[in-house]
């Protein structure tokens, strides 16, 4: 029984490796959310180059990454962006792969008072 389980796990691992390799690899840019800041700040990206944004909420409360114009201007390749924002529960991580368009964009957390408390920055795509 143990052997079968090990073989099944190995087969699954091979399958998931295979599908990961089928995707074009994009460099990962980690974006940390904390109470009440984003880092890095500003967020600097290369125009026209695919990138995976990995949003990590390191706080013990919910935050979001709201950048409507940035997401509207970009070409989203993978991941879910609803209404120009990424909502993150405490400790949650979310990935979005996109091709950013050149420009300067505002980012904020839309939760009540968080922007006022300093939770905003800029995305520079150049």
Which residues, other chains included, contact 110 with Cβ-Cβ below 8 Å and sequence gap of 6+? 64, 66, 85
Distant-in-sequence, close-in-space partners of 61: CB < 8 Å, separation ≥ 6? 35, 90
Alpha-carbon distance of 119 to 36, in angstroms, equals: 5
Q: Report d(CA 24, CA 91) in Å as an integer.
A: 27
Q: 32-71 mask for Cu ion (x: CB under 5 A)?
A: -------------------------------x--------
Of the pair 38, 105, the CB lying nearest Cu ion is at 38
Question: Could you say which of 51, 70, 97, 114 contacts Cu ion (CB under 5 A)?
Answer: 114
| Choices 19-27, 37-45, 78-86, 116-124; region in contact with Cu ion by CB under 5 A | 116-124
When asked if residue 109 is in the footprint of Cu ion (CB under 5 A), the reply is: yes
Can you give the binding site for Cu ion, defined by CB under 5 A?
A: 63, 109, 111, 114, 119
């Amino acid at each position: 029984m143990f052997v079968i389980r090990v073989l099944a796990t190995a087969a699954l691992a091979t399958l998931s490796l295979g599908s990961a390799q089928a995707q074009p690899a994009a460099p990962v840019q980690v974006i940390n959310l904390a109470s009440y800041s984003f880092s890095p700040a500003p967020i600097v990206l290369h125009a026209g180059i695919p990138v995976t944004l990995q949003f990590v909420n390191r706080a013990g409360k919910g935050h979001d990454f709201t950048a409507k114009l940035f997401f509207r201007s970009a070409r989203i390749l993978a991941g879910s962006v609803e209404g120009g924002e990424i909502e993150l529960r405490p400790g949650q991580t979310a990935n979005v792969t996109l091709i950013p368009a050149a420009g300067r964009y505002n980012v904020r957390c839309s939760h009540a008072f968080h922007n006022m408390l300093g939770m905003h920055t800029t995305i520079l795509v150049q």
